[in-house]
Structure 1
Amino acid sequence: MLHLPALFSLPWHLSLFALTLTGVQASIGTVDVNDILGTNNQPILSYTDSGKSPWALKPHCIKGLQPKKQKEGKVFCVQTYRRHTGQDISLITTPETAYQTVNALDEDPVSVFLDYEAAEEYREESLPWKIVSIEGKDMGVKATRKIGQYETFMFDQASIVVALDLDNEAVIKRADYGELLETATSQLGNPDTIRKLCKGSPDGSPPVRSSHLEDIMENNAFGSSIGDIEVKGLFPSIARINHDCVPNAFIMFSPSGLSVGLKAYRDIAAGEEITVSYLPLGMTHSARQAALKGWGFECSCSLCADSASSIAAHDAKRERIKALESEIQATFQEGFVQGAIRLGQELLELTREEGLTPMLADEYVMLAKLHLAAQDEGPAEEYGELAIEVLKDLGFLGDVDEGGKEWDLESLLRAFGGQRLI
C-alpha cells in the first residue's frame, strides 16, 4: 500500500493474511491487523505437567533433516487429542509447539465467536448451513435459512494442524512427511472426513506431491499460527466451502488458531451457496485465473463469467486502484496534500464500485490522515467514523457492551500507527 513518511506511514497491506483484532483473526483479503495494532492476540498457551500426557496415543516422531550449521534436525511428532467438544485433532509439530495448544484443545468455537446469549440461541436452532453436492463442483455448502449480513453463522475446529516448515524439503524427507500425515489421519476418530476431501491438481494434471494426503492438505488447509509458530490447519467442514471471486462470506480464526468462524459479507438467501475467496480481493481476471490453477479449476463465478467488455472494465478499475496507491504517495511527498486527497477520493469511489468493502477501512483512514495534514478536522472525523463502522461490521473492533474498547479517531489513528497533527 502507501509508504508515506512519518505520520502518514500506513503499516497495512493488501494480502490474504489472517486479521487479528480483539482476539479474533479473519482472512478477508485485505489489511493485516497484526501490523495495524502492533499487538499479538495469540498468546503462548502453556501446559502444566501433571504427570499425565494429554495425548490419546503415544506420539509418533520422526527426526527431520539436519540443516546446515546445526548439529541435528528438528523432531516432529504426531500428537492426537480426543476432544470433549468436537472432532479429534492431530498435530504434526515439535513437541514443544504441541504443548502450547493444550489449554485450547477443548475450546468451544461457538463461545469464542458469539456472546453467551447468541451462542445459546445458535445451539438451540438447526444449523443454518449444510454440505451438499454442487453441480460442476463436487461438494459445497448451502444456507438452510436466510443469513443476515455480518452474521457469524458457521463454526469448525481443526482436525489436522501441521507446522508450516514441513512444506520445506530441506526440513524433512517427503516420504517421512507423508508418513506423519498418514499417521495423523488414521489416528482420528473419523479419518474418512479427511480422506474424502478434494485433493485437487494443478491444470488437471496428476498430483506432483508425494502423497494423497499431502495434496489434500495443500488444497484445503488454511494458514494460522500457534503462538509465534506458523502452521496450517485443516477444518473439514469449512474445507467444503467453494471459491468465488465475489464471495458472500469470510473466515475468522480464534486466538488459538484451532477454531474458525464464518461471517457473512452480505445477506445470504436460503438455498444459496456459501462461498469464500481463496485469493486476495481486488485482483484482475487474468491474475485470478492464473492463481486458481493451483487448485485445479477455472473459476466461473459471475465476475469471471461476465462479458469480455465487462471483464475489461473491472480490470481497468482494479489496475487503476493499484496505480493510485503510488500516485497518492508521490503526490503527498511532493507537498500537494489537496491533490493527494482528490486521488484518495477517486480510489475510494473505485473501491466502492468494485464492491471491495473490506479494503475501505484502509482508505478511510488514509483520507482521515490526509485531511488532518490539510488541517481540515471535520472530514477527518467523518472518515474516521466510516473506518470504525466498517471494522465493527466485520467484527474486528469488539462490542463495547461486551467489554470491548470504545473507538474514536484518536484511538483509530494510534492503532494505524499515527496521531493527530492538530
Structure 2
Amino acid sequence: MKINIKYYLLILLISISKLFAQTVPTDIIMGKAYEIQSDYLENTSLNIQVSTPENYNNTEDLYPVLYILDGQWFFPHALSIRADFTQRNGPMHTPEFIVVGITTSNDNRWDWGRENASLFLKTIEFNIIKFIDDNYRTSDERILFGWETTGGFVIQTLSQNPKLFSAYIAASPAPLYGDYFKNLENEYLSLKTFLKNNVELNTFLFIGEGEVDYPVFYGTKTLKRLLNDEAPKGLNWHHKVINESTHEMCAYRTLQDGLKEYYRYFHYLTFNSKAEFERLGALNYIEKFYEKRQTQLSLTNDDESKHATRRNITFVAISENEYKWFDSLFTIFENDGFLEKSFAPHLIDYAQFYLKHKNPEQAKKILSFAIGKYPDNAQVLNALGDLYSLRGEINDAKKYYEKAIELGNKNNDWRVPEYIYNLKKL
C-alpha cells in the first residue's frame, strides 16, 4: 500500500496546531496600574492599582471607593472580598465598590506613615483621590484601610482629616502610645484633644488586632480606653480581637470584618445561635435593626428581608433542636404571613420538625397549606407520606409516597430513591 506522506504531514500539523491553540495562555486582568506624581513628597511618584466592580461598564452608577494602603500585599485580597460580598449567589453583603491599591514599599511605608505622614496624606487627597474622582465614576463614599504602620496612619488620618473618608479600617495599628511606645504620649494627647473638640464627628472606625499581636496590643489597649472615655456619639467605632490570628495575618480578617460591619445594614439580619439572638435583644433588636436599615437605605418596604431574618431564626432553632423556642417563634411569625412567604423546602422542614417533636396536627396544618400552594411538588407529597406514616394511617401514607415517586420520576427529582425507601419501610 502506497503511503501519502504529504497527507499524514498535513494531519500532524493540524493536530499540533490544535494542541497549541488549546494551551496558549491568556492574561488574567485584575485592573489597571498607574504612576501618580506626588506634588508634596519630593521627587516621588506612587504606583496605584485600580479595579472596577463587575457591573461598572453596564451602568451609569456612582461607586464607593476602597483605598488599600500596602496595595502590593492586600490589593488582590480586597478583590477577593469584593467578589465574596457582591458576586456570589444570594443577597449582596455590600454594594459594589471600586478598589484602589496604593503601593507603599518597605523603603517608604515607615517614612510615609510616620515622619512624612502629613505630606503622604496630602498626596492621597490631592493627587490620588483627585485622579480617581476625575477618571472614574465615584460617589462621595470613601473607605481607607491600612495594616501595622499604615494602620497607624489610618488613625492619624482620622484625626487630621476626618471628613476625607467615610470609614477608617485599621488592622494592627502601630505604633500607638502605650506601655511599649511611651515616647508617643504627645501624639496620644493630640488625638484626645481632637476627640474632645469634635463632638459633631460622624464617621466609622474599625480596629482589628490579632489574638497574638505583640507589641501592638499595648497601643490598642490604650486606644480602646481613650475611645471609651472620649469618643463622641457620632464616632461609630468598633474594636475586635481576631481569634487565632497573628500580627501578620490580622490584616485579612480585619478588612473583611470591617467592611461587613460598616455595611451591616446593607444585608438582612442573621443570627448564628440562640445565645447571640438573646444577647443582642431578641425580637426587639430585630425591630430596631430594620428601623435603622430602612432609614439608612431609604427603603419603603423591607418585608422580604424581614422574612429572611425570621427564616434564619427558625432554622437556628431547628439546628439547636430548641423545640419550645421554635414553636413560640413560629406562632408569632405565622400571624404575619410567615407561611405565605415561605418556599416549599422551608415549609417541609418546619413540618418535619413538628413531626420530630410529636406534634402531627401542626405538621398537618403546614403541609396542607404547602400542598395547596405547591400541588406538583413531590417533596411535599413525600412529607405528607411521613405524616400519615407516623399517625399509623398506612393506606394514606402509601398513597402519598406513590404519588411522590410518580411525580419525582416525571420531574427527574434526585430525591426519588428517598421516596422509594420510605414506601418500602411501610
Q: What TM-score does the superposition give when structure 1 sets the normalisation length?
A: 0.27
* Rg larger in structure: 2
Q: Which has the higher helix share?
A: 2
User: Higher RCO, 1 or 2 (CA under 8 Å, sep at least 6)?
Assistant: 1
